[in-house]
Amino acid sequence: MKKLRILSFVLIFMCCAAIVFAVKAQEIPPWMEDIEASNRSTYLVPKGSRRKVIGSQIIVEPPNEYVARRLYEIERAFEKRFKVIEENQEKFRTEFEDLKQSITELKNDHRLNQDLAELKSAIEELSAFKRKMEDAFSKESVEGPDVSGETVEDAQNDEEEEFVAEGY
C-alpha cells in the first residue's frame, strides 16, 4: 500500500511537470511576443505594440491604432529608401552622361585616329620585315653558307689578312 502511494505521488508529480513544461514550450508566432505581467500571467501581443502598465492592469493599444502606426512607420521607411535610390540614380545618370561625352570626344579626336593609322602601318612594316628575315634565314639554313669554290688555303689567307688588318 505504501508503495502504491509513492508510485501515485510520483506519477501525479510527473504529469503536473509535463503540463507546466508544455505550456512554457508553446510556440509563439514570429509576429507576436509574449509578455509577462506577473509570475502567473503571460500575454501574447503583437510585436512592437505599445502598452501601458497602470497598477496591475496592462493596457495594450487597440488593433486599429497599431496597424495605422505600423503603416505610417513603413511608409516613412520606404520614403527614405526611395529618396536614397533617387539620389543614387541621379549620380549614376550624371556619371553616365560624362562617360558618354568623353567617348564621343575620343571618337572625334583626329590625332588618335592618325596615331592608330601610323601604328597599323608600322605593324605591317614589321610583319613584312619579319617575313623577309624568316625567308632569308630559312634559305641560308637549307643551302648552307655561300662558299662558291673557295679552298681551305684561300680561307686561311683571308683569316691572316683580317688579323693583319686589325693591327696584330
What is the tens place of the pLDDT at every residue in 135-158?
887 766 555 555 555 555 665 666
Confidence class for position 101, pLDDT limits 50, 70, 90:
very high
Structure letter (DSSP) for residue 31? T
Q: Whole-model pTM?
A: 0.40
CA-based nearest residue to 28, from 11, 10, 2, 46: 46
Residue 48's SS3 state is: coil
Residue 16's SS3 state is: helix
Residues 33 and 42: their CA atoms lie apart, in Å, by 10
Q: What percent of the chain has pLDDT over 70?
A: 69
Average pLDDT in the chain:
78
Residues 162 and 160: their CA atoms lie apart, in Å, by 5
Cell numbers placing 60: 495594450
Q: Is 87 within 8 Å of 72 (Cβ atoms)?
A: no
Residue 38's SS3 state is: coil
Q: Is 70 within 8 Å of 61 (Cβ atoms)?
A: no
- pLDDT given at position 90: 96
Confidence class for position 103, pLDDT limits 50, 70, 90:
confident
Residues 34 and 46: their CA atoms lie apart, in Å, by 9
Average pLDDT over residues 115-119: 87
Which residue bears the cell 592618325?
114
Average pLDDT over residues 23-32: 72
Q: What is the pLDDT of residues 37-59, one digit of tens each?
A: 776 777 788 888 888 888 777 88
Phi then psi for 146, rounded to 5 degrees?
Answer: -85, 105
Q: Is 32 within 8 Å of 46 (Cβ atoms)?
A: yes
CA-based nearest residue to 66, from 47, 86, 53, 42: 47
CA distances from 35 to 51, 70, 163 (A): 10, 20, 111
